[in-house]
Chains A and B, each alone.
Chain A
Amino acid sequence: DVKVTQSSRYLVKRTGEKVFLECVQDMDHENMFWYRQDPGLGLRLIYFSYDVKMKEKGDIPEGYSVSREKKERFSLILESASTNQTSMYLCASSLSKNYGYTFGSGTRLTVV
């Protein structure tokens, strides 16, 4: 089974902190994604990557950046955390662009 591992299950950070959310997949997938999930809003795409050192903006990239230095690792960075970034963050990977995604277990981030 494909494993997508997110480094933290729960995080509490202070406003203004720089926050790193790490995601690692073990199946040599080219494609990796970051979504956030909020009640009533569903999953919203933040950033995605189809190759190492490549990134594309999703629907809500403001306040976020990403890094993909190695194929298996895709990091989401909150440059200066704000309370409206309190959310569940989900990382996913896929074999091909139109294949189904495998999600990590999620990181519930609270910014206080």
Chain B
Amino acid sequence: QKEVEQNSGPLSVPEGAIASLNCTYSDRGSQSFFWYRQYSGKSPELIMFIYSNGDKEDGRFTAQLNKASQYVSLLIRDSQPSDSATYLCAAYMDTGRRALTFGSGTRLQVQP
């Protein structure tokens, strides 16, 4: 079982809609969670992080964390074609290897 799981997609949404990207993790010791965006041929860039249960909003992005269900999500409101990219979820544990574990990513396509 992979430690951080994401649906590979593609997830296709129309422009202006809400895109919902989901991630589950297997280790209950995971403490911090990160969402990265990666455009084709580029390196990942950090867009959101969340440490506590609940929602965290930043502009059009909302990260949601539910530690009881071991579930992290990223909502993108008013999706734009420029949001088309692969979104990587990552988790950090302060035990074990003490480095981020990444999911394989979900490819998002926003249709104009």
Residues of B contacting A48 with CB < 8 Å?
A: 99
Q: Are B94 and A98 in contact (CB under 8 A)?
A: yes
Q: Which of B39-69 contact A (CB under 8 A)?
A: 42-46, 49
Bound-complex Cα distance A89 to B88 (A): 16
Asked if A106 contacts B43 (CB within 8 A), the reply is yes
Cβ of A33 within 8 Å of any chain B Cβ, yes or no, is yes
Query: Which residues of A are interface residues toward B (Cβ below 8 A)?
Result: 33, 35, 40-43, 45, 48, 50, 56, 58-59, 90, 97-98, 100-106
CB neighbours of A43 from chain B (8 A): 44, 88, 102
* 22 A-B pairs in the complex with CB atoms less than 8 angstroms apart: A35-B102, A41-B104, A42-B88, A42-B103, A42-B105, A43-B44, A45-B97, A45-B99, A45-B101, A58-B99, A97-B94, A97-B99, A98-B31, A98-B92, A98-B94, A100-B46, A101-B34, A101-B46, A103-B44, A104-B43, A105-B43, A106-B43
What is the CB-to-nearest-CB distance from B86 to chain A, in angstroms, rounded to a whole number?
10
Q: Enumerate chain A residues within 8 angstroms of B42, measured Cβ to Cβ.
A: 105-106
User: Chain B, interface size: which category?
Assistant: 20 to 34
In Å, the complex CA distance between A42 and B3 comes to 12
Chain A residue with Cβ nearest B86? A42
Flag whether B13 is at the interface (Cβ < 8 A).
Answer: no
Having A33-B100, A42-B104, A45-B100, one finds 5 other A-B pairs with CB under 8 Å, namely A43-B102, A45-B99, A56-B97, A59-B97, A100-B34
Q: Which residues of B contact A (CB under 8 A)?
A: 8, 31-32, 34, 42-46, 49, 88, 92, 94, 97-105
Q: Which of A42, A50, A97 touches B102 (beta carbons < 8 Å)?
A: A42
- Specify which chain A residues have a CB less than 8 angstroms from the CB of B32 in the assembled complex: 98
B103 touching A90 by the CB < 8 A rule?
no
Contacts of A97 in B (CB 8 A): 92, 94, 98-99
